[in-house]
Structure 1
Amino acid sequence: MRAAGPLLLTWALLLGTAASQQCHPAGPAAVLRFTDRHAELRVPALHRVPSSLDPLYGLVRRCLDLIQQNPLPTELLRTALNEPGSVRTAQVVQYELGYVVCAAVALLFAVAVPVAGMCFCYCRSRRRCGGRLRAHRRSLGCRRRCLLACLSLTSLIMLVSASCALVSSQRVKGQMEPGLGAVPSTLRTLQQHLDNVPQGVQMVVDKFEVPRKQILSDLGGLSRSVGLSIHAQLSAVTYAALADLQDRAAELQASLQHLQTVHSTARALAAAQAELEPALRERRRGAVALLDDPRCTSCASALGRAQRLQLGADFAKVPSVEKVLKALAGLPRSDFAEMIRQGNGTFNSIPELAVERMAQLIQDLRADLARTAEKVQSIADSFPLPDYTRPASEALAEAERRSRPYLREARRFERYRWIAGTVLCSIILLILACNVTGMALGAYGLSKREDPSDYECRGEAGAKFLLVGVALAFLFSWLLILLVFATFLVGGNIQTLVCRNWVNQEIYKFIDTPGNLPPSMNLSRQLNLRRDSNLSSAYRECKGGAGLWEVLQLDSSYDLDEHLRTPKYTADLQKRLGGFTVSLGDVRLLRSEGRQDLETFARSGLDELDYGRFQEELQNPVVQTSLPGLARSLEGLQKMQRNGTVAGRLAAEARALWHMQNSTVRAQEALVAKLGESVQFLSRLAPHLKERVRRTLATTASLEARLPLQAQQILRQELGCFTRKELRYFTQYLNWVGQTLREDVASCQPLATALDNGRVILCDRIAEPWNAFWFSLGCCTFLLIPSIIFAVRLTKHFRPIRNRLISTGSEETCPFHIPRVTALKL
């Protein structure tokens, strides 16, 4: 069990190293950046822009929904497209009934208002209309104010409507040019999008260069990085084992030196004691005889110490170390310093050794990467779209060619509409100016007139301005109603027949229904859609981000996901890295002769020596009585003697003691101190010697056996980290390929975006302000009728009134006095 401790410690260190191991050489995979060079072929999505006229647009749409409540005329359109000559007028009138009613109203207005104008002119020529009031009543003021308020309100509504008409007309003009220009540009962009699919796919495939360069860069530093990782993770236990081995070697060397010191010093002390004992006995006899002499004064105090003047320690009794020295004879037979240096050098050479042993692996991985690039090229080679997009591309080119004449005509008619609308809106504003000026001058003239029968030039001028506005209204009303009806008929049908059914996708359903379109307009065949697909489903799939190959009719199915499976391109790399094994060399920390030296050291019997007896003898002094103390006592007694002979003998005895102390005893005390140091070192080392040597040998043997296995395990872990990192590069690239092909290069979404853009341009940006224009202009046109009525009625109130006597009890009038100044008549 005691021997298992070092093994468990080594295993714990190795397992702790493996548990804390991180993917050092691979590290986190970088995020690859791919440039997008296909952006110029995208169709930007257009959206309806919120406007301050949105409430007006909503009101116009509700009015059109009331006028045209019929659904999409499927039968009528089918007949018109397939057999135009068989279209019956009754069918058209039935569908356009709301517009027919509006046409009748417009025709009635166009005829009635000019006729009313001619009648009014005839009446004026006969001085029967627009003249003067013939009587003054109390209610004239109230009537005048009511007429002023009604005409002012009518003029204000007309002003707002005319302003909306001008703003809407300008918006139509502003949106028409870019809207019509977007048609051929969008068709060209779609055609280029289809034609450039092969180049786009090849561009996407060529971007494999990005992960390939990154992987090659990682491969360049893989072997050294793996070697450094192995070295870093195993360095702690390896250096600890080498340090422990160095300590045992140092202990062996020091123990040999101390054993030799103990052996030589003990023999020297024993020989010195043999020489010291007769001299010490002679000194004791002479000192005792002298101090016991009756002539020696006060010598009894030193007599006892002189009698104890004998050897203290007996170094002949210390244990012999010759047996241990004999067991260690010839050690160390190996050079531990060189052995440790070689083991350290072998371990430190692991990074360079890894570079050397993994060179062939790196070369094979580069070859695998080159073959992977050929497999990636197969994505472009097997992409089936170029042969199947040609019909759609030709259809788009034909549509772009045929649309140009119609677009030129649309621009021309829009220019005429804008000119006519601006002129007629300006006439309405001129009529409003006449009304406002007439009301202002008339009201001012009334305020300055003291007698209703008096002539007032400003009031007369106001009446004339009102009549000028009336004349302009009669003169241009038929032009206004014609422009309103023409724009209403076009814009209303676009809204109710096209836009409304475009939003709810009824148009797509009509196109998808077999037989609705003539064979020459079979869009599914022209666009080469799948047999089980139609325009509605293709539109939904394209809008959802489907690829062209998913909606076109291909001879054989093409599964992009199958082509973008990561294992298809990484199988060789994973297999080569997963099966790679290499020996990085055996790290020999302790050779056999060194192991034998340590085992001999542990069995030498160093721990069996009786260090207690050494300590007992070392604690005893060399001489029991202190020679310096006794010598100083004799010197003190010398001074107290009256007998010169005794004093001389005491002095001589003291000098002899000092000489013995300085020449013999002191040298032996130095040897005793030296012996004590060696014995103390050996006594501290001996109890733990066998355990330390056993632990060092077990740790070294276990580490030498486990280091290659642990290095191999770390190698596999590091290669696994590298494999996962490179797989992430492949995954990033293949995901980008799939996303780019579906959303950009071979995306069907531009077709759906183009259809949505067409609806936004035609319906939201052109039709809505167009309809707002005729609606606002129509309001102005129909408000001309109350404006004419209120203006004519108000004209009489601005002219002088003929006076008559008015009875308070009846409506009868009496002749009045004709004023001196008569009113001018138009």
Structure 2
Amino acid sequence: MGPCEGMRGWRRRDGAGAFRVGVGVLLLGLSLAQSTPPQAPCPAGVAPQSLTQPQYQDNTGVDAGTGFMADLVQSFLHTVQPNPFPKDLILKFAKDFDQVQSDPDVIKEVLHYQIGFLVCAAIGVLYIVLMPIVGFFLACCRCCGNCGGKMYQEQTSGIHCCRRALYWSAFITTLIILAGNICMFRSNEALRVSVDQSAVELNNTLDNLQTYLAAVPQQFDRVVNESYKTTHEVSQNLNAIGPQLGAEIQKGFKGTLDPALSSVRVMDQETTSTNDLLRELNSSLVWLQSSVNLLQANVSAVKNRINQTIHKPSCTGCMALQPDLQKLTVDISVTIPSLGEFQSAVDEVIKADLKSQIKEVEDYFNSIPQRVTNDTKDVVQSTKQQLEEIQAQISQLTKDIPLSALTNVSDTLGQLQAEISSVTPEVERAEHIRWAVCVTLCCVVLLVVVCNVLGLLLGPLGLTPKADPTERSCTADCGGTFLIMGAGFSFLISWLFMLVVLLLFLLGGNVYTLVCQPWDNGELLKFIDTPGLIPQFELGPMLGLKSNLTLTNIYSDCEKNMPLWSTLHLYELVDLEDLLNVSKYTEEIQQHFENTNITLSTITFLSPEVQQLLSSFSAEAKDVDFTTVTQQINNISSINLNTTADKLDELANVQTNSEIQTELRGEAMELRQIQINIDTTIIPQLEKLNSTIESLRSIAGKINGTVGEVLSKAGAAQDFLNTNTTQIVKTESREFLDCQIAYFIAYADWANITITQQLGRCGPVAGAVDSAEIIICSHMVESLNAFWFSLGWCMIFFIPSIIFSIKLAKYYRRMEQSDVFENHIMMNHIPRAQMRAY
């Protein structure tokens, strides 16, 4: 009754309005969410996943043996060109080429810078000019019989030693030329492989760049899409604010209310059980009393007959039975004192209907989620509008960052790839021609080597040292002829090949010193960063940045695989901290609810009237005396009519009057029959009554403790509701909002880390630059430099090869005139007066 009144009072005070205000507290708690951590862990939200970096093609290139002479060639070029990178000189040409090319000071500066190359070029020109002239005069002299053209060889004591010295000198020189020729073949093949692979490697590099440029906008979209997920999750939580927040508020009450409700349920069960036992007890008492009354009537009738019999004059010794007859009575009344008061107390408690009060309290708390849902519609709608504004702010990120520039670069790369694909067949044809020409050059040099080798092989093989020079074998003569052929070929091709060496040397050497070397040590990028070198090329202003942005810094960051945020100084375009500052989005909600007064009444758990009834019930249960009825039951149970019947039989045995004897025995039989009825009828009723009393005694013994527990827990629950209801609503509301904000804070932290540390890692950009350097410098330029260096190597050693071959050839060729040296005395066909030296 008390709870019912409490419920009605609650409804009169407009419980729905109170809960609307209570949910206002929930949103007001948003202002405290930044400083007060949640007291309970929030449900797991949608965890943003880390960005997946795109897969790039492996572009390590093919090792074609391009670096086998790199150290040697680079050492030579460093000797030829020890000057540093001419940054200032190139800037002068870049700013005003027409004026600078006619400036004598600038020209002098250029010549001074290229002094090493000029000296080498002068040596090459001198070689180109002198080699055909010397060959022409040598040929003319030989035709005139001079310079070894005369087929006569003077025989001296040191001729064999001189021949051996010339032989080994020519042999070593030929080996050196052969080594250079092998390097020519190898460098030519390396250059061919490099050119063939360069198109594939370049396409792979451009594909990696295209993949990177396509991945960056996708990663930005991924960050924005994660905000959609977070916003959607929070919106769903707001839509389910009733079940979620209502359940949490219920949990706050259940810790105290559930024990109290459980104790009331136990009290109701015990009251019902007590009432049932009382009904059963009353029924048993009525039934037992009826049986006892019948028993009394039967016993009284038998007692009267016995009394008449023993008072007959013919009854011998019958007066001795008079004392036992006086005891033969069953005047018993089975009653329980205070049972009526106890029954009245039970009836009052039952009339209070504890079940209905429990149900009302349960229904009230079960309706909390629906109340929250109904009373927060407007607040949820306004909050969802605020979420849409948050989403719009985050979506602005893709507009503030110039991602369209990446699309333009991607289009340019696509056009470049198309152009590369279109010119690749022409490049392949040109490369095939170049390779064939270089192979021809290698083969011509090899021809000289072969001639020398054949001469060095056939000459000694067919030579008889002590034989007359005019009688030398054809084998030896062929060896000498091959040596002369090698020298002749050398004269014919060396100056032309030196021209090739000179042109390739000027091209490849300057490309290495002006492009590859500064590219490798970073000076080239620093030079490109020079202000004014490329008109209107300023990355900072082009991207809308305040600070200057250089290619060197970009390459350095990309080499470390840094994100675009730090590489391109995007923090100057977007204030990420402000954009992802969740607290600023809560100001509008704070303004709506910061002045709201909260008055949330509590429910009356048990009214004072019900508590008084329970106290009276407990007192009556304690006052019920079951001892008397137990004694009465024991008295009935102790009745034994068989004893009196036995005495009647004994008395009948001593009678002489058969009529008296018959009467006494009949009366004894009636007593035994009555005893049988007692045992079969009344004793089971007594046992049942005793069981009921024992059950009732047990419940009555517990009622006092149960009532005390009910009153204690109900009082504690009532105090808890009176003092903590508002605080529970505030706490649970704050926790709910803290969880929603925690989702946004988690997203903001993830977005901040992702954008500043993971998004657009530009390692592929540095990889593309490095790949271009490898293709151009490490493969093509190094192979080209190795080729001209090997060819020049051969051309230089052609000079000693010509000298040694021509001189050695006379020791193997068949002479036309004989000159014999024997025992240190020169013997001639025509005696002379004195020795003549030839």
TM-score by length of 1: 0.71
Question: Which shifted more, 523-532 or 122-131?
Answer: 523-532
Q: Which residue of structure 2 aligns with residue 8 of structure 1?
A: none
Q: How does 1:262-301 map to 2 (within 5 A)?
A: 262=281, 265=284, 276=295
The answer on whether the counterparts of 2:334 and 2:629 sit within 8 Å (CA) in structure 1 is no
**Counterparts in 2 of 1:586 and 1:630: CA distance versus 1, 3 Å:** farther
Measure the CA separation in 2 of the matches of 1:364 and 1:596. 47
1:669 aligns with 2:669: no
Shift of 1:477: 0.9
Q: Which residue of structure 1 aligns with residue 42 of structure 2?
A: 23
Deviations 1:732-762 (A, max 9, x none): 456556668x738xx9x99877766665554
Q: Which residue of structure 2 aligns with residue 823 of structure 1?
A: none
The answer on whether the counterparts of 2:184 and 2:442 sit within 8 Å (CA) in structure 1 is yes
Q: Which residue of structure 1 aligns with residue 441 of structure 2?
A: 424
Measure the CA separation in 1 of the matches of 2:775 and 2:603. 83
1:498 aligns with 2:520: no
1:256 aligns with 2:275: yes
1:370 aligns with 2:388: yes
Measure the CA separation in 1 of the matches of 2:490 and 2:273. 131
The answer on whether the counterparts of 2:546 and 2:572 sit within 8 Å (CA) in structure 1 is no
Measure the CA separation in 1 of the matches of 2:664 and 2:217. 128
Shift of 1:68: 1.5
Shift of 1:84: 2.8
The answer on whether the counterparts of 1:460 and 1:798 sit within 8 Å (CA) in structure 2 is yes
Shift of 1:252: 1.0
Question: Which shifted more, 200-209 or 145-154?
Answer: 200-209
Q: Which residue of structure 2 aligns with residue 332 of structure 1?
A: 350
**Counterparts in 2 of 1:438 and 1:728: CA distance versus 1, 3 Å:** same
Aligned Cα root-mean-square deviation (Å) = 6.2
**Counterparts in 2 of 1:199 and 1:70: CA distance versus 1, 3 Å:** same
Q: Which residue of structure 1 aligns with residue 129 of structure 2?
A: 111
**What is the aligned counterpart of 2:82 among 51, 69, 89?**
69
The answer on whether the counterparts of 2:481 and 2:813 sit within 8 Å (CA) in structure 1 is no
Deviations 1:427-461 (A, max 9, x none): 223333444555566676679x9999876555555
Question: Which shifted more, 493-502 or 236-245?
Answer: 236-245
The answer on whether the counterparts of 1:570 and 1:727 sit within 8 Å (CA) in structure 2 is no
Question: Which shifted more, 418-427 or 451-460?
Answer: 451-460
Shift of 1:85: 1.6
**Counterparts in 2 of 1:571 and 1:121: CA distance versus 1, 3 Å:** farther
1:488 aligns with 2:510: no
Measure the CA separation in 2 of the matches of 1:174 and 1:453. 57
The answer on whether the counterparts of 1:109 and 1:478 sit within 8 Å (CA) in structure 2 is yes
Q: Which amino acid aligns with 1:783?
A: F
Q: Which residue of structure 1 aligns with residue 610 of structure 2?
A: 595
Question: Which shifted more, 432-441 or 529-538?
Answer: 529-538
**Counterparts in 2 of 1:695 and 1:803: CA distance versus 1, 3 Å:** farther
Question: Which shifted more, 262-271 or 782-791?
Answer: 262-271
Measure the CA separation in 2 of the matches of 1:723 and 1:576. 17
The answer on whether the counterparts of 1:176 and 1:411 sit within 8 Å (CA) in structure 2 is no
Q: Which amino acid aligns with 1:153?
A: L
**What is the aligned counterpart of 1:571 among 562, 568, 586?**
586
Measure the CA separation in 1 of the matches of 2:169 and 2:795. 20
The answer on whether the counterparts of 2:463 and 2:476 sit within 8 Å (CA) in structure 1 is yes
Measure the CA separation in 2 of the matches of 1:127 and 1:466. 18
Alignment gaps of 5+ in structure 1: 1-17, 817-826
Measure the CA separation in 2 of the matches of 1:507 and 1:216. 55
Q: Which residue of structure 1 aligns with residue 789 of structure 2?
A: 775
Q: Which amino acid aligns with 1:684?
A: S
1:97 aligns with 2:115: yes
The answer on whether the counterparts of 1:434 and 1:466 sit within 8 Å (CA) in structure 2 is yes
Measure the CA separation in 1 of the matches of 2:282 and 2:365. 41
Q: How does 1:344-743 map to 2 (within 5 A)?
A: 344-379=362-397, 420-436=437-453, 460-507=477-524, 521=535, 523-524=537-538, 533=548, 535=550, 539=554, 543=558, 558-567=573-582, 570-571=585-586, 575=590, 592=607, 595-596=610-611, 599-600=614-615, 602-618=617-633, 620-624=634-638, 626-627=640-641, 652-664=666-678, 666-700=680-714, 702-703=716-717, 705=721, 710=728, 713-733=731-751, 736=754, 743=760
Q: Which amino acid aligns with 1:772?
A: A
Q: Which amino acid aligns with 1:159?
A: N
The answer on whether the counterparts of 1:524 and 1:534 sit within 8 Å (CA) in structure 2 is yes
**Counterparts in 2 of 1:484 and 1:279: CA distance versus 1, 3 Å:** same
Measure the CA separation in 2 of the matches of 1:113 and 1:685. 135
The answer on whether the counterparts of 1:162 and 1:429 sit within 8 Å (CA) in structure 2 is no
Measure the CA separation in 2 of the matches of 1:655 and 1:132. 184
**Counterparts in 2 of 1:79 and 1:612: CA distance versus 1, 3 Å:** same
SS in 2 for 1:332: helix
Q: Which amino acid aligns with 2:622?
A: D
Deviations 1:15-67 (A, max 9, x none): xxx9995434xx2333258899xx99x9x998898764435212222222222
Measure the CA separation in 2 of the matches of 1:381 and 1:769. 48
SS in 1 for 2:350: coil
SS in 2 for 1:54: coil
What fraction of aligned residue pairs are identical, expressed as a percent? 22
Shift of 1:663: 3.3
Deviations 1:129-165 (A, max 9, x none): 4879776977699669746852563354133322233
Shift of 1:246: 2.3
Measure the CA separation in 2 of the matches of 1:262 and 1:535. 104
Measure the CA separation in 1 of the matches of 2:710 and 2:618. 15
Deviations 1:62-85 (A, max 9, x none): 222222112234554455454332
**Counterparts in 2 of 1:450 and 1:647: CA distance versus 1, 3 Å:** farther
The answer on whether the counterparts of 2:309 and 2:660 sit within 8 Å (CA) in structure 1 is yes
The answer on whether the counterparts of 1:607 and 1:686 sit within 8 Å (CA) in structure 2 is yes
Shift of 1:251: 0.9
Alignment gaps of 5+ in structure 2: 1-36, 830-838
Deviations 1:716-745 (A, max 9, x none): 4234223312443355456556668x738x
Measure the CA separation in 2 of the matches of 1:198 and 1:796. 80
Deviations 1:340-368 (A, max 9, x none): 44444444444444443443343223212
Measure the CA separation in 2 of the matches of 1:803 and 1:632. 186
The answer on whether the counterparts of 1:549 and 1:558 sit within 8 Å (CA) in structure 2 is no
Q: Which residue of structure 1 aligns with residue 191 of structure 2?
A: 169
Shift of 1:170: 2.0
Shift of 1:606: 0.9
**Counterparts in 2 of 1:629 and 1:772: CA distance versus 1, 3 Å:** farther
Measure the CA separation in 2 of the matches of 1:313 and 1:707. 65
**Counterparts in 2 of 1:211 and 1:121: CA distance versus 1, 3 Å:** farther
Shift of 1:522: 6.8
Shift of 1:774: 2.1
SS in 1 for 2:85: coil
Shift of 1:684: 1.9
Shift of 1:249: 0.9
Measure the CA separation in 2 of the matches of 1:505 and 1:731. 37
Measure the CA separation in 2 of the matches of 1:150 and 1:701. 118
TM-score by length of 2: 0.70
